[in-house]
């Protein structure tokens, strides 16, 4: 509040200073003198305008006309965005309503535990920057002029309904606003100036709500990853339509907005505290699904429905155990898997039957949710752009989710060192880093990072990409009974003169229970 009041006072002082008053008089006096020629302004004394006054008048008229046009253009963009997304939602729903048109993954067999090379921090950072630059370049070609691109987007949400408010915003915001150079957040009922900390906290809070909120469009699978929810529990207050209609238009609208939110988080480098399923990441890149994805999502389904048919004489043994032959459902189109299939499963089409079982288990009951989520994601981050940059599913997962386990050594290595000449200060800071490495669990490290920076995940480039760098300061203004405080906008943790490491750890854990954040 002090900083805000000081900035407002300084701005008023500058705008009312004598040089500024001369400027306002030079710009607007000619306009008043032109108005004096109107019949209704006969009380004014008209005087001829000089050439520089004509120039000033033209500049004022141009600036006003430009401001009005930009405002009208932004309103038009919002209206066109809503109409376009509604048309897209209707088109996807109509397409999937046809019995022959379904979201069918290109299922292929593969090892249950494929070797995956984890992406490096440098690769993730370069990839995100390349995606952002290419997307902005494409965006510039879609608008009449760069001057019409919004310079900032300010988001206002409520803590109690942060997920619903966010999905509503992402339903109506044009892509140009979502990629505006400056983005800030305000929470209703909270006083704070967003210099980056509140924005990180907002992305993190929405990610937590997506993982745990009953109204979340996502639900946890057997492997603890998140996938589109098939239905919402009664009374959850979710942003959906009728509760007995899990594929109602408002529920699908939530999935479309969610896809746009995930893509915006990727482009802005704000990792979310959630883990999307491998199925979702592969479908976002249109990569083929494998047995490994099915085994991760539902091990029992793979063990009892898929694995018996993988053996040479598995079909015969399974039919003997069941006492009847296996049949394709009558709703399966004859050419759905690229070959004509009889109603009965035979040795010739058992591979197609396995693909049918696998794809139905992975996406069959949530085709519309997946299709709409994908379209929302591609609306902000197009599929062609992802494929042109060679993004792999594990890289996309890391761009969305970041690192779930914070490396304390890397954290300290890329933090500002303690430069205090006071030996007690240095000892307290040393206790802190020792506690981070030895005494805190992985979950507590994430909570600590969120407490100080607003985000429970480091940037895609790791702690080396955290701006400003993480810092620890020991304050002499409080006693050892004070809890640590944080300034999320400058990524600084403030400790006090604690008598021992155990006391520091106790106060630190107490502070992490609170969800309050310092601002600067």
Question: Contact at 8 Å (CB) between 380 and 257?
Answer: no
Output 168-174 pairs: Cβ under 8 A, ≥24 positions apart.
168/239, 168/257, 170/257, 170/258, 170/260, 170/261, 170/264, 171/82, 171/85, 171/253, 171/256, 171/257, 171/260, 172/78, 172/81, 172/82, 173/78, 173/81, 173/260, 174/74, 174/77, 174/78, 174/80, 174/81
Residue 186, helix vs strand vs coil: strand
Selected residue with higher pLDDT from 235 and 200: 200
CA 317/CA 328 separation, integer angstroms: 18
Selected residue with higher pLDDT from 118 and 158: 158
Instruction: Kindly state the average pLDDT of the residues 477-498.
Output: 84
* pLDDT confidence of residue 265: 93
Task: Tell me the pairing of strands 182-187 and 152-157.
Answer: parallel
Question: Contact at 8 Å (CB) between 327 and 344?
Answer: yes
Residue 41, helix vs strand vs coil: helix
Question: Contact at 8 Å (CB) between 29 and 47?
Answer: no
Residues 6+ apart with CB under 8 A from 211: 218, 220, 226, 273, 274
- Segment among 32-46, 128-142, 338-352, 463-477 with least mean pLDDT: 32-46
Per-residue pLDDT of 88-139, as tens digits, reads 777 776 666 554 444 666 666 667 667 777 788 888 888 999 999 999 888 8
Selected residue with higher pLDDT from 5 and 261: 261
Selected residue with higher pLDDT from 280 and 514: 280
Nearest by Cα to 251 from 225, 231, 279: 231
422 Cα distance to chain centroid: 42
Query: pTM (2 decimals)?
Result: 0.76
Look over the chain and give the mean of its residue pLDDT values, rounded to a whole number: 78
Share of the chain above pLDDT 70, in %: 77
* pLDDT confidence of residue 330: 66
For 356-382, letters b (16+ CB in 10 Å) and e give bbbbebbbbebbbbbbbbbbbbbbbbb
Helix (H) or strand (E) holding 379: helix 367-380
Helix (H) or strand (E) holding 250: helix 249-267
Q: pLDDT-based confidence at 49, cuts 50/70/90?
A: low
Question: Contact at 8 Å (CB) between 399 and 124?
Answer: yes
Domains of the chain, earliest start first: 2-74 (no CATH), 121-283+367-401 (3.90.1750.10), 291-365 (no CATH), 408-513 (3.30.2410.10)
The runs of H, that is alpha helices, within 98-215 are 121-140, 162-172, 175-178, 197-212
Question: Contact at 8 Å (CB) between 191 and 1?
Answer: yes
Residues 51, 53, 56, 57, Cα dihedral to 10°: -100
Nearest by Cα to 261 from 363, 153, 371, 175: 175
Largest CA distance in the chain: 107
CA 259/CA 228 separation, integer angstroms: 11
Nearest by Cα to 401 from 285, 274, 279: 274
- Segment among 179-188, 242-251, 407-416 with least mean pLDDT: 242-251
* pLDDT confidence of residue 243: 41
CB atoms within 10 A of CB 288: 13
Q: pLDDT-based confidence at 238, cuts 50/70/90?
A: very low
Nearest by Cα to 276 from 267, 268, 266: 266
Cα torsion angle, 455, 426, 500, 495, sign: negative
CA 485/CA 505 separation, integer angstroms: 14
Per-residue pLDDT of 365-394, as tens digits, reads 778 888 889 999 999 999 999 999 999 999
């Amino acid at each position: 509040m002090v900083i805000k009041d000081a900035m407002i006072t300084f701005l008023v002082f500058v705008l009312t200073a004598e040089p500024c008053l001369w400027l306002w008089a030079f710009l607007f006096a000619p306009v008043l003198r032109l108005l004096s020629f109107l019949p209704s302004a006969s009380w004014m004394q008209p005087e001829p305008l000089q050439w520089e006054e004509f120039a000033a008048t033209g500049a004022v008229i141009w600036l006003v006309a430009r401001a009005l046009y930009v405002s009208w253009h932004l309103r038009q963009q919002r209206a066109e965005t809503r109409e376009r997304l509604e048309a897209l939602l209707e088109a996807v729903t109509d397409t999937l309503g046809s019995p022959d048109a379904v979201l069918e993954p290109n299922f292929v067999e593969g090892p249950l535990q494929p070797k995956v090379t984890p992406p490096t921090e440098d690769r993730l950072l370069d990839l995100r920057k390349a995606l952002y630059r290419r997307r902005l370049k494409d965006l510039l070609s879609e608008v009449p002029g760069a001057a019409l691109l919004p310079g900032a987007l300010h988001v206002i949400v409520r803590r109690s309904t942060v997920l619903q408010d966010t999905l509503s915003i992402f339903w109506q915001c044009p892509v140009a606003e979502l990629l505006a150079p400056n983005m800030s957040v305000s929470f209703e009922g909270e006083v704070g100036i967003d210099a980056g900390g509140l924005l990180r906290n907002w992305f993190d809070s929405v990610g937590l709500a997506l993982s745990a909120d009953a109204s979340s469009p996502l639900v946890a699978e057997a492997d603890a990853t998140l996938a589109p929810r098939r239905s919402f529990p009664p009374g959850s207050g979710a942003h959906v339509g009728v509760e007995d209609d899990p594929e109602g238009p408002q529920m699908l609208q939530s999935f479309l907005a969610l896809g746009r939110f995930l893509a915006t988080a990727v482009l802005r480098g704000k990792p979310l505290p959630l883990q999307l399923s491998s199925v979702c990441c592969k479908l976002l890149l249109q990569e083929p699904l494998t047995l490994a994805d099915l085994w991760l999502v539902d091990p029992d389904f793979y063990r009892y429905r898929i694995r018996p048919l993988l053996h040479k004489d598995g079909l015969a043994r399974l039919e003997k155990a069941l006492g009847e032959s296996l049949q394709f459902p009558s709703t399966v189109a004859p050419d759905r898997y690229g070959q004509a299939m009889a109603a009965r499963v035979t040795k010739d089409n058992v591979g197609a039957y396995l693909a049918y079982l696998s794809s139905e288990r992975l996406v069959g009951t949530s085709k519309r949710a997946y299709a709409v989520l994908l379209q929302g994601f591609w609306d902000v981050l197009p599929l062609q752009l992802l494929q042109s940059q060679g993004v792999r599913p594990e890289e996309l997962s890391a761009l969305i989710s970041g690192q779930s386990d914070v490396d304390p050594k890397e954290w300290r290595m890329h933090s500002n060192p303690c430069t205090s000449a006071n030996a007690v200060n240095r000892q307290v800071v040393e206790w802190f880093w020792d506690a981070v490495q030895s005494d805190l669990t992985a979950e507590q490290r994430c909570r600590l990072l969120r407490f100080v920076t607003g985000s429970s995940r480091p940037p895609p480039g790791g702690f080396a990409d955290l701006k400003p760098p993480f810092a620890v300061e020991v304050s002499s203004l409080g006693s050892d009974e004070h809890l640590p405080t944080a300034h999320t906008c400058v990524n600084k943790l403030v400790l006090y003169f604690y008598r021992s490491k155990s006391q520091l750890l106790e106060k630190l854990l107490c502070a992490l229970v609170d969800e309050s954040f310092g601002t600067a």
